[in-house]
Structure 1
Amino acid sequence: MNILDQEIILEFFRSHYELFVTIVFMGTFGLTFYLIPKVLWVSKEKNLMAGVNERSSHSLAVPTFGGVAFYISIIMVLTILQSMRLTYVGNHLIAAITILFMVGLKDDLVISTARVKLLGQITAALFLIFSPELRLESLHGFLGIFEIPVIIGTLLKVFIVLAIVNSFNLIDGIDGLAAIVGIVISLVYAFVFYGTGHPYYVLVSISLAGILSAFLRYNFSRGERKIFMGDSGSLLVGLVLAFLTLKHLVMKPDVALIAEGYHPGNRLLFLASVLFIPAFDTLRVIIIRKLNGLSAFSPDRNHCHHVLLDLGLSHKKAAFSLGLLNLVVIGIYFSLSHSLSQPWLLFLVVSLYSASFALFGWLKVVGARMAKGSVVGSR
């Protein structure tokens, strides 16, 4: 493609931006919707099904390779976008996604060790954190911190990527939850990127929303069309959201994330609100496990979705309830971020997390009492 052809394509893109957004959403939705039945057929032909154990939320063997359809769809979009030369960071994202997809696929097939998964996550993260477009040099006044050393910025980015990837992997415990939360977060990111003039990141966000929307139809199915996203899917979704999160954090200080008057030093608080469910759920289970003298990686039934299931909610109701909670937290932040100073905004975010800790602690007790009453009543 010569320079003239490229300029013509870019001008057409700029003139029909909203049309491109719609096409990308419908395209990723349609492609994922088409691919998942093919993945289902291969999985069943080769008997690649998730078994059932005492911690399973399903009672029948189900294929766990939804991530294969995710990967094909997102890579096709990213490859097309790269031909438009909107940004060079797409090459790094494609490499990172491919590495982490392979790590997740191996785990879905034969179960990987925690060390292998962590090594794969770090390798994938390196492609993002050393991308020039994602260079983090300042916190723009968060807690009075402005310029930060390159090494501190690098370590912070590594932590963010690993935390988001693993937290998304952890919430993928019931039908629809990871997909619904992923849709909420990606659409909020698309809205902000659209308002701040970052078309490439809008299209990546919309692509993820389209993929997850198509997946929900099959994930909520009760018949032979049911499929899980698997580690190959949850790790991929977590990585793309981590990539979008880093971009929010490193945008120039003169770019207002929400509206005029938004202080760039509040971006970490904004991200803590948008990523509320994966961040809160991960913090909650780690704290509970440590208080019980267990490893932070010990399996249990203390996740938020387990609490709601123990109250008698179905998978669909529990997933939509947590997605709604994430939206409520985001809405509260949006409505108050313009009128509160940073200390009060920090207090607000901490209060939202603390109130949710108390709420789910109480719901856990209620669920235990209900279970005990059922046992007594059945005697």
Structure 2
Amino acid sequence: MPNISEKGIQMPASPIRKLTPYADKAKQEGKKVYHLNIGQPDIATPEGMLNAIKNIDFDVWAYTASEGTLFYRSKLAEYYNKLGYDITPEDILVTLGGSEAITIAMQTCVSEGDEIIIPEPFYANYNGFACMSNVVVKPILSHIENGFALPPIAEFEKLITEKTKAIIICNPNNPTGYLYAKEELEALKALCLKYDLFLFSDEAYREFCYDGKTFISPMHLDGLDENVVVLDTVSKRYSACGARLGCIITKNKEVIKSGLKFAQARLSPGMVEQIAGAAAVDTPDSYFEAVNKEYTLRRNTLVKRLNAIEGVFCPNPGGAFYVVARLPIDDADKFCQWILESFDYDGRTVMMAPATGFYSTEGSGKNEVRMAYVLNIGDLNGAMDCLDMALKQYPGRIMA
């Protein structure tokens, strides 16, 4: 039998999805599974976006331009310019979801064997995208005790070598929900200019900032135009994960020119998705205000319930819709499998993502899990009831 590739062997499994067979089996056994493992919102997709799809009228479902249609890119520029990005449609490359935006950015800006610094824990698929692109991830540890704040810039400098080409941040952060302050971004700006690095800014959760806090993008910082590459998606903003529609935004013309060649190789983004995406730009502010209010309530509920469980610690995130919590357990991977495979509370159980998959440093996150508060308040409370009881029964519980 032929052997698979070395890259296929090295490609990491998703911590978000790898326990799916155990969840499926639990459901087959009649258990209700609360899905806190994946950022699939239950919020309704904007009506205008859905109506645009329902009212489509064309005779040929054709290819579009590799960079995306001019109409959609113009609508996107309209959206970003309301946020102060000061861009044109020519500064945008439409991609097949945020995932392709990240892979094209890596392949465009970072050569094989070169390095990218990423504060960890980080979005688990960065490891997979780096593997696909033959890029080396250099993690820099942030800590749950201070809410996963950006590590000191001096720690970044210790990692910089002649092979370092970029820094990636996700703001607000997945998986921690940490929202970077302007002072932290200014410090990163100075570092990128000093060492001539790209700054990749994953902004999938831009709309989800709480407690009156303001989102700041590197695009808002003067003097960084050639260094910043924004990675974005409609998935979370419009609760449209299945659309698989994202984009790269940069004022660096060479990045757009080179990135377009990768986009041409996969032909084009979908026509229907771009029609829906263009309509989504006209979504009224009231939609986001209602969503923000709902997620704030969910965050407050989840964090309060978690910290009320003996031995659990969970910082209060400033954005996104995730928390990372430290549990009194020996091994998060074992616990997350055990709670699906061997536990139920009145026929209910919980699916979570072990935090180990969000770290690149060996041994990190062993007693941490990521939870997405994308369920209604009733289900969140039900999930916390299950977790509380599970921790009391888990054989690998660590006693204080």
TM-score (norm 2): 0.28
Structure number having the greater helix percentage: 1
Relative contact order, higher structure (CA 8 A, sep 6+):
2
Structure number having the greater strand percentage: 2
